[in-house]
Amino acid sequence: MVFKTANFFIIFFIFCYDLSAQNLRLADVWHLQKGDFKKDSIQRILETNSLNLKYNEIVTIQLQNSDNQSYTYQYRIPQADKFAQWHELGTEPIVQIPTLDGGKYSLEISTKGTSNKVFFSLPINVSQVFWQEWWFMPSMVFYVLTLIGIGAYFLSIYNLRQKIKVEEIRNRIAADLHDEVGSNLNSIAIFVELLRKKSPKELNPILDRITSNSKESVQLMQDTIWAIQAKNDDFQKFMLKMKGFATQILGAKNISLTFDNQIISNKNLLSMEQRKNAYLIFKESINNIVKHAQASKTNVKIWSEGNQVFLQIEDNGIGFDTNENFEGNGLQNFEQRAEECDMKIKIDSEIGKGSSILLSITIDV
């Protein structure tokens, strides 16, 4: 009988405890910084039984228990990982709602010793800021790509204008060289011929030297003009010029020519400086074959490997000692011209077995 009476009181106590705990109601709401909510705002919260917050808005709510009994309260927000477990509040049911990302949440209140039974629940809607919307990242990607596209467009326009400006300068320099320097050099040759008629014969070797130097200067100037003219920025035009020069010079000495160009690209593979120096090296090599090699055959081969263009000139002449200096053969200028514009030159020759010159040119692929 005593046991039954004790059980009855325990059940009655638990029932009363639960019933009291369920009397929790929202009493007040205030901002952390702004202060109290307006009365109509609190009334709206009470009527809708939900709390609508802006992003990063910190709000504190106070609950009230109508039976005025003392309990130890705890809260949780199951949808927020950091607050998904129960957090003890103490004997005062006052909760500061933490800053939450945009979305829907639920604030749950319980009391200790009630098997975590929820006695009060308040839905919380946190509005999403624009960078949390689904369209934000695609918009940012589109914006960045648009900026890149606009930047690339204006950069290409700028580069095009710079190229046009450089071509205009090159053409102007070529015209000035042809008109001014060319006429002056031709005038020197004319004055020398006039002077030859009135000068003693002892001066003829000197005058011949002046005439020869003038003609060489005119030819060098013409080669330079050809190299800097924008219309000649074509690799195949470069090949035709080299082949035409070699055919004319070697043909005059009955030296056969094999010209093997294995590069079919029409694009501008060589820079202006590379084209000029490569042509001058080629031209001097052909002149040396005509003047000194006593050859009957010359082979010219052009090919590319990776970012290298190769030019090889071979003859079957008498050869020479590469360690010996020959005045007027131009060999001493080859390495200097090659070093000026990222080129390398290799000269191989053996007396009685001909000569070979290999020029390697580094290009921008």
Instruction: Tell me which H or E stretch contains 70.
Output: none
pLDDT averaged over consecutive 10-residue blocks of the chain (365 residues)?
A: 40 38 72 57 68 81 79 89 88 86 88 81 84 81 92 88 74 64 70 75 77 74 72 83 90 92 85 85 90 92 92 92 62 79 87 91 82
Predicted confidence at residue 3, as pLDDT, reads 40
The bridge status of strand 297-305 relative to strand 308-315 is antiparallel
pLDDT at 11: 37
pLDDT of residue 6: 38
d(CA 200, CA 168) in angstroms, rounded, equals 48
Query: Dihedral of CA 21/24/30/36: which sign?
Result: negative
pTM of this structure: 0.51
**DSSP 8-state assignment for residue 37:** P
Domains 2-128 and 233-365 share a fold: no
Q: State which CATH number among 3.30.565.10, 3.40.800.20, 3.20.20.70, 2.60.120.380 fits the domain covering 233-365.
A: 3.30.565.10
Relative to beta strand 118-126, strand 51-53 is parallel
Decide the pairing of beta strands 59-65 and 73-76. unpaired
CATH superfamily of 2-128: Immunoglobulins (2.60.40.10)
What phi, psi does 24 have (nearest 5°)? -65, 135
pLDDT at 365: 65
Q: Return the domain boundaries, the chain.
A: 2-128, 163-232, 233-365
What pLDDT is recorded for position 300? Answer: 95
